Structure 1
Amino acid sequence: MSTFLPKYIQKSIVLTISILLIFNTFSFAADYPTEWDLTKIFASESEFNDSVENLNKKIIPELEKFKGHLADAGQLEDCLSLYLEASIMSDKLYIYASMLQDTDTTNSNYQEYFSTAMDAYANLEEVVAYVKPELMTYSDNDLIQLAKLKQFEPFKNYFLSLVDARPYILAEEAESILAYATEFSEMPKEIYDQLTISDVHYDEFLNPLGETRLFDFDIDTIYFYSDQLEDRLKANDAYMKPYSMHANTIASVFIAEVQKNIFLSKSRGYDSVLEYATSGIIEPDQYRNLIKTARANATLIQQFNHIKQKSLGYEALHSSDFHLPYASSYYAEVSYEDGIQEVLEALSPLGESYIEGLNQFLQSGNIDVYPGDFKTNSQYTWGAYDAPIYVLLNYTDDFSSESTLAHELGHAMHQLYTTENQTYFDTSVGSFPSEATSTLNELLLLESLKNKADDDELKLFYLEKEIELYYETFFMQTILADFEMRVYDEAEMGNPLSLDKLNALWLETSKDYYGDRVILDDAYQYQWMQIPHMYQTFYVYSYAMSIAASTAIKDHLTSEGDAYQKVYLDFLKSGASSSPTEQMANLKIDLNSPEFYTTLFAHFESLLEEMDQTLEALKYYDTHPALDYLYTPDEIKRAYKDYDALKTESTASSGDTREDPDDALYEALGYGLLLFMLFIFIYSIVITILYVSKSKKLKQLEREYLHASKRYDPFDDRF
């Protein structure tokens, strides 16, 4: 250090810097918060209630005054500006209340928040029911001309969408009735969530110690990996028991969801629920083409399952065997912090700007990371137009969680770019383009990790995961989409739905894809009940279409590099300002080209061939080492004994309130060290202040000191 400062000042500076470094260490550890901060939306209950009151008692009554006057351009502008404000506020209330409820589904206060938000939303929709009908009194040409005016720029695409939607907009009275019905439209999903998250419990289960206890997910699921088929079947039956026990109720709730959607689609004049649900996103023919193409290539699923069957050495593969390891025994344990770093590295092909924005989001406190006792089991990205974007995870320190992190961050960045560059009415991105961005992140993560793999086992692990990603994202989601289409086709033809009918449709659909290579066990018939996306009508298809698009985007990034980064960022910024077909065209992807799916099928087939050749070369088909990954009855019994011992030890330690003398000593030393650091910190400040007051030459000395250390700025006003 420079000799221009006295030694006691130098020492005080060193101590101060040391303390600041210590504090900085703690600060650095908290760079990636693990709980979201919803106070950024509403700081308190009173602020939430004030917004509700402002919406209900001020804005909504004001909106009523414009009724019958929208033929006047001035009145129209004022009305739409207020309508925009009300819509944004209503979204904030609803999203905030929903996310609160998702953190604790048993909290009655949060349920009241949600009910209040839903009431406000329904009130708004009921009052503004006149807006669309009055706007529809304008001719299509008039609406197109209004869209060109500067004062209506925020509503440009809204006006144009009305031109497209003209056949489906009803008279004012009918719109008012449908708006009122909105209050009830979410009830099937709410009932399903309450039933499957809060009110459904596992049944009794006989463990290998001869004890009958409630099924414990933490230990009883070890039977999923038993080397005995009978044990795997028993565990799967127990795991699905909450659904089979409540099967009639869950089926009735889903049938209510189906009938609700049929009512809404028919009320508006759509030919089908499929057309209604995908309007403005994709064409119904594109959906049915996905199903048709996937069915035609179902042999790829059968080829995949045959590889698994050969690797395990089984005479037949059961649905209870779907989750069994067949290639790599590697378990990737990935902490949240490590996962972040690997994701950031993997997404570098998207460019510096993307990575910089992503890192800022990760540090924003807008991600709720870990599971909670009554937290919803969903994982999603959500946010209001003038509020932060939030991500909900259930991170469990494994590769699956890391992949989900990459997936949801794709959604988050898409929403961030969209809200920063589009007006409110152009931010509702459809599910297909939205899922394309998130699935791309998963593919990039896998490619990065596979390229870094430094041994054969790790490479095999990531090859297996890449196959699973395509299998689960394309084929599994297409099976669900196919099942959903069959359900609605049956209902719209007037055929009655029931529990038996729904289960039969699910089994029929599955057999069309799995063929004769897989035995579908009894518990499998209830598996469709586990899918919450069934209450997001015709949504799951978007996963399948998205991975086809993501594969194409990744290929363009690889071949075109930096030039394509701008193309991709422009796509993220475009939001919902154009149709998905147009957006994909801008990404150099033709949704109507046969290659849209054939490229994916060819890539998946090449992965299967690589896996088949690798397992053959490693003698997996002869020695069946995958069986070594499974648990014998004796190993399972020992695991139960160890688990019980750990629980007993944990209970005993939590009940022992005696103070350990060593703990008291360490605590005293800790407090002493903290006080000493605080004293030194204050001492250094006091000494520095005293020196400043006594020395007239301090500024010159400091200037010389900073100059000597090459940190002096002659234009700094401090000097």
Structure 2
Amino acid sequence: MSTTPKTLPKRSEVSPDHQWKLTDLFADQEAWDDTYEETKAQLKKFEEFRGKLSDASNIGACFKFEDEVSLKLEQLYVYTHLYHDQDTANPTYQALTQKGRKLLVDAGEAMSFITPEILSLDDAELDRLIDDESLKAYRFTLQEMKREKAHVLSGAEEALLAQVGNLSQAPQNIFGMLNNADLKFPNIEDEHGSEVELTHGSYIQFLESANADVRRRAFQAVYGTYAKLKNTIGASLTANVNKNMFYARARKYPSVLEMKLYGDNVPVSVYDNLVDSIHESLPILHRYMRLRKKLMGVDELHMYDLFAPLVDEFKMDITYDEAKQTVIDGLQPLGADYLQVLENSFKEGWIDIYENEGKRTGAYSSGAYGVHPYVLLNHKDNLNSMFTLAHEMGHALHSYYSDNTQTYRDAQYTIFLAEVASTTNEALLMDYLLKKATDPKEKMYLLTYYADQFRTTVFRQTMFAEFEKIIHARTEAGESLTPQDLSSIYYDLNVQYHGPDMVVDRDIEMEWARIPHFYNSFYVYKYATGFSAATSFSKQILDEGAPAVERYLSFLKSGGGDYSINILQKAGVDMSSREPVREAMSVFEALIEQMEQLSE
């Protein structure tokens, strides 16, 4: 008897109960078209403000109009991109998305004079505007403009830097083409003795194999391939460092690191504290490596063993309805108000749940101010999808609270803060699941899942961050940076981070050559700080209850109305100190203790 293979439903076949409700943004296509035409016509009005932005009344009127237009642009664009993502093959919404993007570009050009014109005022005039009561709603915007002023150049210099923009993308583009298009790995032998293709996508799957020979072959094949290209990739990474130095000097920053942190107004001490705190906590990671070695029952733990399974795959079949209820149960510590919003979101068309033909892969939270957030999922009945639901609802409720508390201009939170709310939800859910688990195998599976998040998100990203700091500091000091230097720095960091129970295979010295994040310099530290802040929040919530919940909700309501460090500090997480990382490390240590007890 033959069975018909299960195929994905077409979008038209998906139950309305499983779809998000985009009519909350625009009632129909006609309403979108009307708003589009109205907004397009409004762009011409910006010219009325050109040359007049020197007094409070004109600046206030201009900002107010800018907000009105920007809000409509956001709603227009979000509507098209959500429709497009639910069925990417639909030509109507492909065209509409392009139309929405084009309007955003036109709007950017129409508003481009506003900031330079205000910044042409002297500091005393800017200070008067910042203190003007009639501009109170725009105080933070004006403070930010003044803060940036020291690094904005003359019109001619800015025009020249803009022309260099395309050239500055060369290191990243060259690496991207080499890594994604030209680089080919050799075939390797799998656990069945068959020759199989090794690709970027399959590499981690091979590292997760229960067969050590398969893991070793994949590991050596990948880094052997990069080693053959070390001079070319070394040249592209060094060119990226030199590009960063050019911009830092042109814009009068003391260093590349300070330039990269300036946008979020994050002090260099936050970066240094992260690295120093992780150095202080390396014995805990070394303890985890020792435990991993014991659980795997091997005489030597190698770099290619880091993704190997520690326990047999524990099968967790979790339907969407079960996942939804478990997330609600797991987030009980956040209190009645949060839970009410969360439960309403499940009933009010915020979420597009299941995969369908043509739907965008992955998951995200998106939305436009003035309308509830939207969440795209591709739910599978497993543990990972349940954590994805908790994660994305963390983003969605962060946006909901910010939008409902802040003005349009101050509602958008920074990337530095973005992962905090989503990861706090995951930490609370994990705590709930661990307390509820009765099967030792299930508990070990969950503990391993969580411990590896600490290893990859906090330790590994901090090691990347430290590597970036070292290579930029060396170049700024006038030292050379050959491929051999890059490999030596990277290898030594791996030895330091992984400790005495790990055989640090020489091949790992080439890993720097395959990390695309190194071309988006000084970004990866945000993964580690965000995870640490979230772990600190969740620990405070579980330990203190109501007062910590109140502080956490105040964080969710703060949007981007202040600098990220200040927002976290007011809510009880001081990222300028070592305390949040230490709190996160105490959670990690407690996980390892539980794993050790279960393994006895």
Both proteins in one fold, TM over 0.5: yes
- Structure 1 residue 554 and structure 2 residue 541: aligned? no
SS at match of 1:332: coil
SS at match of 1:298: helix
Aligned to 1:600: 584
- Structure 1 residue 288 and structure 2 residue 257: aligned? no
- Structure 1 residue 409 and structure 2 residue 406: aligned? no
Report the Cα distance in structure 2 between the residues aligned to 1:458 and 1:234, rounded to whole angstroms: 31
Aligned to 1:611: 595
Report the Cα distance in structure 2 between the residues aligned to 1:346 and 1:322, rounded to whole angstroms: 29
Verify the 8 A CA contact 2:295 2:599 in the aligned structure 1: yes
TM-score, normalised to structure 1, is 0.68
Aligned to 1:333: 317
- Structure 1 residue 589 and structure 2 residue 573: aligned? yes
Structure 1 residue 412: Cα displacement: 1.8
Letter in 1 for 2:289: N
Letter in 2 for 1:418: S
Q: 1:377 to 1:486 in 2, by over 3 A?
A: farther
Letter in 2 for 1:334: I
Letter in 2 for 1:555: K
* Equivalent position to 2:468, from 468, 474, 484: 484
Aligned to 1:664: none
Report the Cα distance in structure 2 between the residues aligned to 1:142 and 1:474, rounded to whole angstroms: 44
Structure 1 residue 268: Cα displacement: 2.9
SS at match of 1:168: coil
Aligned to 2:153: 170
Aligned to 1:697: none
Instruction: Give CA deviations for 1:356-388 in whole Å, capped at 9, x if unaligned.
Output: 222333455554556789987765434444565
Letter in 1 for 2:297: G
Letter in 2 for 1:448: Y
- Structure 1 residue 322 and structure 2 residue 306: aligned? yes
Q: 1:107 to 1:539 in 2, by over 3 A?
A: farther
Aligned to 1:474: 458
Structure 1 residue 199: Cα displacement: 9.1
SS at match of 2:365: strand
Structure 1 residue 287: Cα displacement: 0.4
* Equivalent position to 2:117, from 121, 134, 141: 134
Report the Cα distance in structure 2 between the residues aligned to 1:199 and 1:77, rounded to whole angstroms: 53
Greater shift after overlay, 423-432 or 153-162?
A: 423-432
The structure number with the bigger radius of gyration is: 1
Aligned to 1:84: 67
* Equivalent position to 1:70, from 37, 49, 53: 53
Verify the 8 A CA contact 1:94 1:117 in the aligned structure 2: yes
Q: 1:365 to 1:488 in 2, by over 3 A?
A: farther
* Equivalent position to 1:310, from 294, 297, 301: 294
Greater shift after overlay, 527-536 or 427-436?
A: 527-536
Report the Cα distance in structure 2 between the residues aligned to 1:375 and 1:256, rounded to whole angstroms: 38
Q: CA RMSD in A?
A: 4.6
* Equivalent position to 1:234, from 217, 223, 226: 217
Report the Cα distance in structure 1 between the residues aligned to 2:34 and 2:222, rounded to whole angstroms: 42
SS at match of 1:297: helix
Verify the 8 A CA contact 1:484 1:534 in the aligned structure 2: yes
Question: Which blocks of at least 5 consecutive residues in structure 1 are unaligned?
Answer: 1-26, 617-719
Verify the 8 A CA contact 2:265 2:563 in the aligned structure 1: yes
Report the Cα distance in structure 2 between the residues aligned to 1:101 and 1:243, rounded to whole angstroms: 37
Verify the 8 A CA contact 2:286 2:498 in the aligned structure 1: yes
Aligned to 2:327: 343
Aligned to 1:156: 139
SS at match of 1:324: coil
Report the Cα distance in structure 2 between the residues aligned to 1:154 and 1:246, rounded to whole angstroms: 54
Structure 1 residue 574: Cα displacement: 1.0
Question: Mapping of 1:291-690 within 5 angstroms?
Answer: 291-327=275-311, 329-363=313-347, 365-367=349-351, 379-386=363-370, 389-393=373-377, 395-493=379-477, 505-521=489-505, 524=508, 527=511, 533-534=517-518, 536-616=520-600
Q: 1:103 to 1:317 in 2, by over 3 A?
A: farther
SS at match of 2:150: helix
Instruction: Give CA deviations for 1:149-196 in whole Å, capped at 9, x if unaligned.
Output: 565344221012223333123334444555677788888778888987
Aligned to 2:3: none
Aligned to 1:660: none
Q: 1:102 to 1:425 in 2, by over 3 A?
A: same
TM-score, normalised to structure 2, is 0.80
Verify the 8 A CA contact 2:285 2:497 in the aligned structure 1: yes
Report the Cα distance in structure 2 between the residues aligned to 1:407 and 1:580, rounded to whole angstroms: 20
Structure 1 residue 127: Cα displacement: 5.1
Letter in 1 for 2:261: T
Aligned to 2:6: none
Report the Cα distance in structure 2 between the residues aligned to 1:194 and 1:392, rounded to whole angstroms: 30
Structure 1 residue 397: Cα displacement: 3.5
Structure 1 residue 448: Cα displacement: 0.6
Verify the 8 A CA contact 2:402 2:412 in the aligned structure 1: no
Report the Cα distance in structure 2 between the residues aligned to 1:424 and 1:194, rounded to whole angstroms: 39
SS at match of 2:554: helix
Q: 1:253 to 1:394 in 2, by over 3 A?
A: farther
Report the Cα distance in structure 2 between the residues aligned to 1:503 and 1:96, rounded to whole angstroms: 47
Report the Cα distance in structure 1 between the residues aligned to 2:110 and 2:328, rounded to whole angstroms: 46
Report the Cα distance in structure 2 between the residues aligned to 1:109 and 1:142, rounded to whole angstroms: 50
Aligned to 2:257: 274
Verify the 8 A CA contact 1:351 1:565 in the aligned structure 2: yes
Report the Cα distance in structure 2 between the residues aligned to 1:305 and 1:316, rounded to whole angstroms: 11
Instruction: Give CA deviations for 1:212-262 in whole Å, capped at 9, x if unaligned.
Output: 454599999775455542222224456789988998887777667655554
Structure 1 residue 312: Cα displacement: 1.6
Structure 1 residue 338: Cα displacement: 2.3
Report the Cα distance in structure 2 between the residues aligned to 1:76 and 1:222, rounded to whole angstroms: 56
Report the Cα distance in structure 2 between the residues aligned to 1:364 and 1:197, rounded to whole angstroms: 41
Report the Cα distance in structure 1 between the residues aligned to 2:246 and 2:356, rounded to whole angstroms: 37
Structure 1 residue 265: Cα displacement: 3.9
Instruction: Give CA deviations for 1:529-548 in whole Å, capped at 9, x if unaligned.
Output: 66565565433322322333
Instruction: Give CA deviations for 1:465-489 in whole Å, capped at 9, x if unaligned.
Output: 3323333332122122223333443
SS at match of 1:381: strand
Instruction: Give CA deviations for 1:518-559 in whole Å, capped at 9, x if unaligned.
Output: 234577456556656556543332232233333332333234
Greater shift after overlay, 336-345 or 167-176?
A: 167-176
Report the Cα distance in structure 2 between the residues aligned to 1:532 and 1:41, rounded to whole angstroms: 38
SS at match of 1:429: coil
Greater shift after overlay, 42-51 or 416-425?
A: 42-51
Verify the 8 A CA contact 2:25 2:79 in the aligned structure 1: no
Verify the 8 A CA contact 2:440 2:598 in the aligned structure 1: no
Q: 1:43 to 1:312 in 2, by over 3 A?
A: same
Q: How many residues align?
A: 587
Verify the 8 A CA contact 2:328 2:339 in the aligned structure 1: yes
Letter in 1 for 2:343: N
SS at match of 2:523: coil
SS at match of 2:553: helix
Verify the 8 A CA contact 2:126 2:146 in the aligned structure 1: yes
SS at match of 2:49: coil
Q: 1:334 to 1:533 in 2, by over 3 A?
A: farther
